[in-house]
Structure 1
């Protein structure tokens, strides 16, 4: 998506995919590339120059408005609706990345806690082969592992929040938290489904939805593999710095 100045306006053209909440939104932030670099604009919605081509059919269903594919055709935006300076948009975007990652971690931690409560209640009431499910080690151990993963995720979130509260951007720490928490929550959600068997894949409880949402979370705000790649680059950079190579 590109932008160019035109008098006291900027003209934006392009196409974007996976724009969460586009349908029904009253305001949006559009990022586009100028000759100076990335720019950010505050725009009023809906606007005839911004067309929603379709809303993607995705595995998750909790985001209002879904995830849209949009086309921007000669959108004219007043120059005073640019956020900050031309070419500085990418820098501004980085500021929100760490808090956004952490907010997702907190949101889905809460969802997985609820899924664990539901699975625990099911296992403590349901009987099979002459005893409660929770008394079968195969089931009880899964719930125990959930408890461990839940606490580790909570501690990782708390640690990263402390880094952000100190005034740091927390780029590295939020990457670590996002990987650790999203992977832990995926394990928790999967175990909850497994503990509940057929009920776990039905819509009778929210467990199946939590599983779907958390699976998507491993991709949203940066896939696990991208964060690991970024962390590996930092490891290499720090090693070179320490060894003055």
Structure 2
């Protein structure tokens, strides 16, 4: 499983005080520190996979003929290829922006949530369209695209589903708007 996540269950576990890392009760806070870079790692890995799916579909659309011309020359397929390019570029920009902010020393919880949602959904659309362009080959083992499609679906779930990130972002947006409104009232 490409997500690398597992489920662990501990019953009656006791950890001696000398073996506790950090402070007791601070585990969630410690885990939050790694989330922004970890989310970007997923975004980057799946961007590469979406790019591979797109490149496979593009090559197929250039060479495969239907109704007297290459698939790529049919508007419907051409539109899907163009949409793929736009989604790939958008995902890449979110990754770059968040990585730049991390390099500036920012925590980037909000930005990494935004990047995770945008990337997971955009990259999913790219792979889905690539399957569609490939037709029958998109749902077989003839190309790597079906495997990418199958594996990628989980990306929208792990490290938090899109809905949880949207909820968290909305809370932060409302909080920032309330702070700005309060500052205006004081001024």
Q: Same fold (TM over 0.5)?
A: yes
Corresponding residue of 1:182: 120
Structure 1 length-normalised TM: 0.71
The 1:224/1:174 distance shift into structure 2, 3 A limit, reads same
Compute the RMSD of aligned alpha carbons.
Answer: 1.5
- Higher RCO structure, 1 or 2 (CA under 8 Å, sep 6+): 2
Name which one, 1 or 2, has greater alpha-carbon Rg: 1
Corresponding residue of 2:49: 111
2:33 pairs with one of 85, 95, 98: 95
Greater Cα offset, 161-170 or 74-83? 74-83
Greater Cα offset, 146-155 or 100-109? 146-155
Aligned pair count?
A: 183
Structure 2 length-normalised TM: 0.92
Corresponding residue of 1:145: 83
**How far is the alpha carbon of 1:83 from its aligned partner?**
1.4
Distance of 2:9 and 2:155 partners within structure 1: 25
Corresponding residue of 2:102: 164
1:205 pairs with one of 100, 124, 143: 143
**How far is the alpha carbon of 1:78 from its aligned partner?**
3.6
**How far is the alpha carbon of 1:68 from its aligned partner?**
4.3
Corresponding residue of 1:236: 174
SS of the counterpart of 1:74?
A: coil
Corresponding residue of 1:49: none
Corresponding residue of 2:18: 80
Higher strand share: 1
